[in-house]
Amino acid sequence: MVARAEAKYVRISGRKVNKYGRAVKHLPYKEAKAALNLVTAHGARTLYKVMQSAVSNLMAKSKNIDEDTIKVDSVRVNEGPTLKRWRPRARGRADRIRKRTCHIEVIVSGEEIKK
């Protein structure tokens, strides 16, 4: 059984989230959860919340899923729209500030308990 969760327009650069996404991809759920709990970075916490949502969606699909068999199949971090801001500089100039966003998608899978 497969389930997914997605967070769109997250106000953090995709590069910062993707670092943790590559670390937990293809890991068992419990190991990925423990690894992301140790990191205090904003990107890791956001990824943790999306992963929790995906597992919750999986449990909602089927009540008899064994939590030990849940695995993180895929973590996809795509670039979202960039918010552009301007900072005034000397001599009437302006510098552009790019506030980047990203879209995070997590796909998890698990096996049902055989009765």
The pLDDT tens digits for 36-70 are 999 999 999 999 999 999 999 999 998 889 889 99
pLDDT score of 55: 96
Q: What is the mean pLDDT of the chain?
A: 95
Q: Is residue 58 part of a domain?
A: yes
- Token pair belonging to 112: 């049902």
Name the residue range of residue 88's domain: 2-109
Q: What's the CATH code of the domain at 26?
A: 3.90.470.10
Q: Is residue 37 part of a domain?
A: yes
pLDDT score of 110: 93
Q: Is residue 41 part of a domain?
A: yes
Q: Domain count of the chain? A: 1
| Residue keyed to tokens 């769109």 | 8
* Pick from 54, 64, 33: nearest CA to 109: 54
pTM: 0.90
As a whole number of angstroms, the distance between CA 29 and CA 21 comes to 13
Element housing 88 (H / E):
strand 83-88
